[in-house]
Each structure stands twice: as structure tokens, then as C-alpha cells.
Structure 1
Amino acid sequence: MRLSSPRLVVAGLAGDSGKTLLTLGLARSLRERGLAVRTAKKGPDYIDAAWLAAASGSACVNLDTFMMPREGIGSGASSLAGADVVLVEGNRGLYDGVDAEGSHSTAELAKLLGSPVLLVVDVTKASRTVAAQVLGCQLLDPALRLAGVVLNRVGTARQQALVRSAVEEVTGLPVVGALPRLSGDDPLPGRHLGLVTVAEHPDGEGAIARAAEAVARYCDIDCVLDLARSAVDVELPLLRVEAEPRSCRVGYLADPAFSFYYPENLESLRRRGAELVAVAPEESAALPRLDALYIGGGFPEVHAGRLAGGGALFGALRDHAAAGLPIYAECGGLMLLARELVIDGSSHPMAGVLDLVVEQTPRPQGHGYEVARVDRRNPFFEAGTSLAGHEFHYSRVVAGADAASTVLAVERGCGIGAGRDGIVKGTVWASYLHLHALGTPGWADGFLGMAARCAAERAGTAVAGV
């Protein structure tokens, strides 16, 4: 696959540097010029990607060299082809990776994509030192093309002039924007797993509009476009997936509490013949006719009071699981399937599909990449399969008989604890591990194959809707 669209990676010196605000503002500003804008997010991330999709008006793809082989990156990047401009938001600092060498960093992805880098720098209480920071980034890897700089959180006109002059003199790079400190409420408030989701923001569209207004006012959009057009064409391999088409109905919970679905995961199911059915928990006293159910992550702890009233849905989940409906649940989905969710000492009843008690804690229990090996037989993955994904959870499993029914040996990360993850009970899978279809293409094949087998086995059962 030849990637030739104009493109730019937006990177920072560290997290919370202003990458998301700048990328959102650029995406919307360029879209308002009538350009076809596509976006990508480096690394595992649901929330930023959803904001970028809303700003650009098209789905945002996640690209990550740790979770995905080069073929997965190529297949993901193929969705960017034909765009007038592509914006890729980086993750953490430009060179930050999984080790001291910066493996799997934003810089590594930028080189793979043949993309110039726009570096956004927080200049709070600094002047010439900013030039030293930018120069360090410029010299650390000569193979990386650092193309321009945006100053963020500028305090005064004098500071802007000093920093701009120093950066351009020392590095030769153009300063294409200088965003002031934002007054009033942050348009993108945070929560314990990152930004508030765009769906839950009280004025998500207004927040994007304010970001676009600031970027259009304080950045040279024409210069940014010129930088993007300097990207070089690259050839990327594609995943070759030869899977048997499966005609089946796969439901997925569509709710603010469970919104963490990679578009590529849903699309991989659809491409293999599945009909996707959105299931709204509050409207579903019973499940529709399904051959499998996919429950993504999200924020069940934020919505625990509302979810705890879902007795009819909980009963339907228990009945269908007992009847053999394949259910695949990640993180927040695991919490939903548990018997009980404890928050600040208060107990909230959950679906009870699994005999688990889950406790929400004030500190992360797992955060980052997770690698696990399937070491026990199960209907979802073949024994010996290696799975590379990610986890980010403040909850932990503290009790319950089903906590021992795991099939994954965790080689990196935390999982449910004690080096284990992947609870399997009958045709139910629940884990803290999030997988991406471009990194684990066998996930969709196994899930749909199981759905087809179980649908045939369950034919004629008495459970309503099955």
C-alpha cells in the first residue's frame, strides 16, 4: 500500500503538552476549509481517538508499533489514503517508548509513516531553554524529520517573541503557532482514564469549536499545510486475512458506560460477514436475537448507580450465558459481568454472570501494554497463542470463585493479578486485556467461528431471543 496523502505527526515533549488540543483544532480548522481530513492516534487510546473523529468528521484509526506488526500499521494507514491531509496525534513525549532506546515511540511511528513532525512545546515560565529542548529533539535522531514548532501556554507577547526568536535561531525550524494560556474552564476536562469522552462532555461540539477558533487565530494554518505536504511517499505492507465468511448477528453494548470499541474491531467483524447490532442497556429488558455479544470497556464505575438498576438485562445476560451465547468482555465489560462492584465501600449489584467481586480503587491497578500467552484450552484462542494489547484500570478483582478460571499467563502487565488474566467460564470471556484487531487478526476469526458453532449447537433451545 502506497501512502501518499499529505500528513503530519503532532508530538510533544511529554504528556499534557497540548497535543490533543492542537490536533483537534487543526482537524476542525482544516475541515472548515473544505478539506477531507483524516486522523490517527498513536498508541492504544479510545478517548482521544473519539474526539479526533468528531473534529474531523471521519473515523480515527489507532496505529501502534507495539501492538501491531508492520502489516497492521499498513492496513490501518490504508484508511487514510485519499485524504487531503492526515493528522496523527502522538503519545507521551516524542521519543518515549517502552525502553531507554525509545522503542515503539511516536518518533518511530513518524519515520515508518514517512511523516514530518510538528512539535508542540509547553513554554510555561521559560524562554531560551525551549530552544535547547527543541534542538535536543532535532539532534537525537537525524533520521526523524522535525519540521516545525508550536508554542503552547504562552504567557505574554514578550515571552512569545523571545522564545520564537531563540527557537528559530538555534534550530532553524519555523515556529508556526503560539497558543496562549487558556482562560476560564479547560475545554477538555479530564477524568481518571484521561479526557472526558466526547459523548459525555456537556458541550463536546462547543469544545472542539473553541479549540479550532484558538488554533485558527494563533497558528499559521497555511504553513502547517505546507509542512504536511512535505511528507514523503512510503510503501507499507498489508495484512492478508483469509477468513471463512460467517453469517451471524453480533451485538455490542452501546452506552456511555461501555464506549471503548476500536472501530477497526467492529469493522473486522463486519468484513467477515457479521451483522452488528447495537444494544442499549437501558432499553434492553431482554437481548435481541444474537449469536454473540461483545462488551467493551468504559466507565461502569461512573454509571454504577444507573447500571445497578438493570435487573431485567442482568437476568437476560445470565440466561443467555447459561444457554451458551458467546460473550466477549474487556475491562469494563468484566466489571459488568461480575456479581458485585464495590466503590468507596458501597456495593452495587452487577449482572452476576461471573462469580466475581470487583473493587474500584483510587490508584491505577494496571496501566500500559499487556502481553499474555494462552496456556490453557478455551473456546476463544488456541493454546500457545501470544496476545499483545493494553490495559488501563483502577479496579481489581478481590473475591469470587471464577477468579481462578483463567487461561492467560501475563508476561507483561498486571491483568487480574498474580500473573493471570482472561477468565473463561463456558462461552464467556472476561479480561482486563484490550485487543486490537490489526494486532490480533485471529481475534475476530475465533470469536465469529465460536459464534457460528454455538449458534448451531443452541438451535432449538428455549431461551427467548436465542
Structure 2
Amino acid sequence: MIVSREKIPGVVIAGLRGGSGKTIISLGITAAWIAQNITVAPFKKGPDYIDAGWLSRAAGRPCYNLDTYLCTQSVVQASYLTHSQPCDIALIEGNRGLFDGIDIDGTTSTSELAKLLDLPVVLVLDCTKSTRTIAAVLMGCMQFDPDINICGVILNRLAGKRHEGKVRANIERFCNIPVLGALPKLTQEAFPERHMGLVTSEEHGESDMSLTRARQVALDNIDIDKLFGLVTSFKGQGMPVVDNARQEQDAVLEINTTGNLNSITENDTVTIGVVRDSAFQFYYPDNIEALENLGARVKFISPLSQTDIPEVDAIYMGGGFPETHATQLSANQAFRDNLKVLSRKGLPIYAECGGLIFLGESICLDEVVYPMTGILPLRFGLSKRPQGHGYTEVEVVNENPFYAKGEVLRGHEFRYSKVISIDYEDTAMAFKMIRGKGILEKKDGFFKDNTFGTYTHIHALGSTRWAPSLIAKARRFKASRE
């Protein structure tokens, strides 16, 4: 990734809380602009995969995550500057409430990101059973942090024209903020939800039809042209300068710079198998690109549709929903057996969350046990409530295939699965949890041979040793076979 210094106009779509409707509104705006031949660079604030997948589909290009907990502020700025090229406009969907962060100062909040990138905010207001109070809430947001530029609001979940008129009149009188749109209450049929939010676009049977509906909702209820004009004419203060920003950007992004390819020979080139299908789909684009730009050929493989595993030098398994595909995964014994054989031969395998479950012995759902690969002695179940939810911080306390002892990593976990039983020794767990739950007893990073499974998702531009380490392991495995 070559860092561009030219800033593209952009807007942050924020809400007062999670579930306020900003995802469907963001999708609708993106799809509407695309229909007008406006190129949109989509971004998702925070460590979300599902919303990012929908935004990517709506925009027709990768959606990148911007997260100041997983990555430094300067790297987040660099990611925005680079990945918004060469588009006409960027759209960033926020997460949770506008000012919600990990501490009382609002660290990692959507508002912090808007200031870091010097972008205006459009605030989605859920007007359910409220009228004048909406203006009071908006005024509070405007005064809570005067450095945030709320350029407009979109009213959501209105009961009708009379309800809309009352809310509009109060906002115009007390807040002097333009109302850019007003949406009625929508059914959930077009965008069904699961415990982690929206169903993934890959699993949704009619995702293109749903995006078409979201686009039409935006065109019918939001002044798309006025919004575009406000964003593109916005004159901010300029991106704040972060200490050592330029040097840090260049150093960190070196793992993702195509210039590195000039020194890579054919003997250095490795093939990384990435397990990606509707069961395993949670990947940051930056992680895949980091591997490719270090000289790896990425080959996508699927335990849902393939029985044989092609010749690869390492495997990367992301998260997803193996529990909703348990019948198919357990039925494909050939793939499971082949992966176990390769693991015992020393093939480097790195797995996160859903991938970790697939490495285990089984998962029990509604008292039915579904066999997995049996590579790691773990047996899983599923809970109705989250078992791990939020950012993580880990210290590497044991020697392992991928990380240096003493290293501290930041990531996140969001899961409903739980460990029913496990057979392990302390030395087989690489991580001690400083923040988060991990696999068991504040431990995570279970490894055996060159196979490594963890509940912690990492971002390649924040955990900069991950991609080079996986590539190095792949090269050694490739050399051992020659």
C-alpha cells in the first residue's frame, strides 16, 4: 500500500447508540451514490466484519476498517488517505453511539475518529416515541464536543408525516441543523439479523435485492444531492498532526508496500491458503493484502465445497459462523482428515475464532455433537449470551510458532461459543490476557506443532509481526518439502 497524502472528501454516519439504523442508511446512501456514478470509498469504524462486508458489496470495492485501538492514529490516517483513492467521496459508518469509547475520555469513539480525519458527521436520530426531546438530545451532542462538526441529521423510525413535522420543527427552531432525510419505520425482512447484528451478505439469499431496496429507501427519503454537496464543500481545520506520524506510517506500512516485491525471488514466493466461504468470512482486507504484498500467492479454499486441499505452504482461517454450517462441515470428513494430516506434517495453520472451533474436536448444538478436525483437544458449545465481547490485549508468555515472547498485541473478540472441555498444558497457551477473556482462565493462543488457534482477531497494520511471521513459516515449510 503506497500512502497517498491527498485527502478525499468524506462523511461519518453516526448514531446515538448501536441499533439506531445507521447501517441500512449507510448502505442506502452508498448504493444511491453508486447509482449516480459517484465512486464511493467505504469504511467501517471499529472491528466489525459484517457491516463492512455489506458496505463492500454496496460500493463494489473493499471496505476497510478504521480502528484507533487496533492501530495507531497515524496508521488510521494513512489508511483513510490511501484507501479512499481514487474515489469521489468516502463514507465511514460509525459504531455504537457517537461519543462511546473505551473510557471516560471517549478514546476509540466515532467522534474521536471524525476529529482525527477532520470529517463532518451526519447523525442518525432514532425518533421512536419522541418529538421535542430529539432536539434536546441533538443540542446536547452539539455542545458536548464543539469540535465535532455535525453537518446534518437523518430522522429514522418515524411513525408518519405528523410525527416527522413535529421533530423537524423542533430541530429547525432549536438546533439550526439541516434535516437531510426522514425515514419511516422499516421491517427487518430485507436485512435479517442474527446475534452479531446483520446476517452476512454472503449468507443472505437475496443480498442484491436488499441493497436495491436500501438504495430506493435512501432515494425516496434522503436528499442525496444535498448531502453530497455538504460533504464535498466541507472546509475543515485539516488533519491533526500526530507525533512522528510520517515516520511511523512509513515504518508500519512497509509490510504492505508493493515495493517489497522487487526483492522477492521465485524461491521466496509462497502460497497461502485462505479458508473463505459462507462459514468462514471474517477477514480484514489489510490482512490479505499484507500477505500478498509480502510476496504470497493467496489461494481461497473451502471446507464446504472441497474435499482435497490444494498444495499450499500455510493456511489462514478467519472467523465466521461454523455453528450454522456444522452439518456440512462435519459431513466433509475428507477435508477434515486432510487438514489434520497436514497439521501433523507441520503445515503452518493460523486460525481465529470460528477457525479455532474448526480446529477443535467437536461443537455441540442442541445436544447434537458435530465432529470438527480434532487437531486441537478442544470441544465447544454455544451460548445464548456473548462469552467474549470487546477489545483484547494479550502478552505473549510462551514460545510459539508465530509471535515473540514478551510481545504485546491488541485485538478483539466477539463470540457466543464456549469451551466445554479442553486438554492442555500451560506451555501450550501462547497468550496471557491483559484485557478480554480468551479461551480459558485468561489464556489464549492454543498451539500444537505449527498450528495456532486463538479467539483474538488481530489487524495486520496493528500487529505488524503477524504477516511476516506467517510468510517466514510458510517459506520454511516449503523448503522442507523440496
TM-score normalised by the chain length of structure 2: 0.92
**Residue 471 of structure 2 aligns with which residue?**
448
Shift of 1:403: 7.0
Shift of 1:231: 5.1
Matched, 1:125 2:126: no
Matched, 1:437 2:440: no
SS at match of 1:391: strand
AA matched with 2:40: V
Matched, 1:281 2:303: yes
**Residue 281 of structure 2 aligns with which residue?**
259
**Residue 463 of structure 1 aligns with which residue?**
none
CA distance in 2, matches of 1:3, 1:198: 32
CA distance in 2, matches of 1:256, 1:48: 15
2:231 to 228, 231, 234: 228
Asked if structure 1 preserves the Cα contact closer than 8 Å seen for 2:401 and 2:452, the reply is no
Q: Deviations over 1:225-263 (max 9, x none)?
A: 122111535377424244574410000112111011111
The residue correspondences of 1:151-166 to structure 2 (distance < 5 A) are 151-166=155-170
Asked if structure 1 preserves the Cα contact closer than 8 Å seen for 2:153 and 2:181, the reply is yes
1:420 to 443, 454, 479: 443
SS at match of 2:282: coil
1:136 to 124, 129, 140: 140
2:35 to 22, 27, 32: 32
Asked if structure 2 preserves the Cα contact closer than 8 Å seen for 1:27 and 1:55, the reply is yes
SS at match of 2:319: coil
AA matched with 2:120: P
**Residue 309 of structure 1 aligns with which residue?**
331
**Residue 150 of structure 1 aligns with which residue?**
154
User: How much is the aligned-residue C-alpha RMSD, in angstroms?
Assistant: 1.4
**Residue 99 of structure 2 aligns with which residue?**
95
Q: 1:242 to 1:99 in 2, by over 3 A?
A: closer
CA distance in 2, matches of 1:408, 1:59: 31
Shift of 1:100: 2.1
**Residue 321 of structure 2 aligns with which residue?**
299
**Residue 375 of structure 2 aligns with which residue?**
353
**Residue 408 of structure 1 aligns with which residue?**
431
1:60 to 54, 58, 63: 63
Structure 1 stretches of 4+ with a deviation exceeding 6 A read none
CA distance in 2, matches of 1:16, 1:194: 9
Asked if structure 2 preserves the Cα contact closer than 8 Å seen for 1:38 and 1:80, the reply is yes
SS at match of 1:222: helix
CA distance in 2, matches of 1:330, 1:209: 33
**Residue 335 of structure 1 aligns with which residue?**
357
Shift of 1:82: 2.5
Q: 1:409 to 1:129 in 2, by over 3 A?
A: same
- Give me the identity figure in percent: 40
CA distance in 2, matches of 1:423, 1:378: 9
Q: Mark the runs of 5 or more structure 2 residues left unpaired by the alignment.
A: none
1:82 to 67, 75, 86: 86
Matched, 1:247 2:288: no
Asked if structure 2 preserves the Cα contact closer than 8 Å seen for 1:114 and 1:231, the reply is no
**Residue 268 of structure 1 aligns with which residue?**
290
**Residue 464 of structure 1 aligns with which residue?**
none
1:372 to 394, 403, 416: 394
CA distance in 1, matches of 2:199, 2:308: 30
**Residue 396 of structure 1 aligns with which residue?**
418
CA distance in 2, matches of 1:400, 1:393: 18
Shift of 1:185: 4.3
**Residue 213 of structure 1 aligns with which residue?**
216
